[in-house]
Amino acid sequence: MVQKTGKRARGRPRAYDPDQALARAMDTFWIGGYSGTSLDALSASTGMQRPSLYGAFGDKRSLYLEALERYTDESIASMRETLDFESSLRDGLATLYHSAISFYAPRNADPRGCFLIGTAAVEAMSDPGIRNRLRKALRRLDRVFEDRFRQAQATGELDRQADPAALAKMASAVLHTLALRSRAGDSRPSLRAIAEHGVQMICGARSRR
């Protein structure tokens, strides 16, 4: 078994960094999907032999689930950070979407979209565990937007009669379409245009930037 926080390991030291290995495994799943990614591919990308993979993460599904959790946590943290950093709701949304586009369709690499939509959505039908995790992840993402909308309502930036939960789902919908379209190969300018229209639609078209 892997000793998670062992200060000085007793036996032979590990030749890999568990965190980096998980990140590489996530990238590999991201490209090939769960069913489309073999243990050989994971072994090659992480640099770990199969028995080491099993020792560190358990079987293929467990490794995928860890990658899924990691992705969700990181995405949510990054989104919260962006929305907190920008002072206005409008700027926060705009920055968040533009960051998402850079993330989904990097300038120097193949577009990959969102890990959840690109890999978990497929398996959701045949694996109830993955389906539940996907549903909860989407709900958590909704909550990030919802919390910011509530805050905007408290400061008077957003109309008192607005429905924060409903607006949050619309904000997520824009994110979902950006993720899908980037994976489908849409150009970055066209994605940026969608993001801008999304911001206008959610915040109201009144104040032009």
User: Which residues form the interface with a second copy (CB under 8 A)?
Assistant: 30-36, 110, 112-113, 117-119, 121-126, 131-132, 134-135, 138, 163, 166, 169-170, 172-174, 176-177, 180-181, 183-186, 193-194, 197-198, 201-202
Q: Give the nearest distance from C-beta 51 to a second copy in angstroms.
A: 25
Binders in 14-33 for DNA, by CB under 7 A: 14-16
CA distances from 95 to 50, 104, 165 (A): 41, 14, 21
Binders in 60-79 for DNA, by CB under 7 A: 60-61
Q: Choose from a second copy, DNA, none: what does 9 bind? Cβ within 5-8 Å by kind.
A: DNA
Q: Choose from a second copy, DNA, none: what does 49 bind? Cβ within 5-8 Å by kind.
A: DNA
14 DSSP assignment: P
Q: Choose from a second copy, DNA, none: what does 135 bind? Cβ within 5-8 Å by kind.
A: a second copy
Q: Give the nearest distance from C-beta 36 to a second copy in angstroms.
A: 4
Q: Which stretch binds DNA (CB under 7 A): 52-60, 94-102, 104-112, 186-194?
A: 52-60
User: For residue 39, what are its two tokens?
Assistant: 């243990």
Q: Give the nearest distance from C-beta 4 to DNA in angstroms.
A: 10
Q: Give the nearest distance from C-beta 50 to DNA in angstroms.
A: 4
Q: Are 105 and 188 in contact (CB under 8 A)?
A: yes
Confirm or reject binding of residue 39 to DNA (CB under 7 A): yes
Phi, psi of 36 (to 5 degrees): -85, 0
User: For residue 74, what are its two tokens?
Assistant: 């990181």
Block residue for tokens 């905007």: 152
What does the alpha-carbon distance between residue 6 and residue 66 come to, in Å, rounded to a whole number?
Answer: 20
Angle between helices 89-104 and 128-154 (to 10 degrees): 150
Evaluate the CA torsion angle 186, 100, 61, 57 in order and state its sign: positive
Nearer to a second copy, 9 or 165 (CB): 165
State the DSSP string of 92-137: HHHHHHHHHHHHHS-SSS-----HIIIIIHHHTTT-HHHHHHHHHH
Confirm or reject binding of residue 154 to DNA (CB under 7 A): no
Binds DNA by CB under 7 A, chosen from 38, 102, 132, 190: 38
What does the alpha-carbon distance between residue 166 and residue 123 come to, in Å, rounded to a whole number?
Answer: 27
Binding site for DNA (CB under 7 A): 1-3, 8-16, 37-41, 48-52, 54-56, 59-61
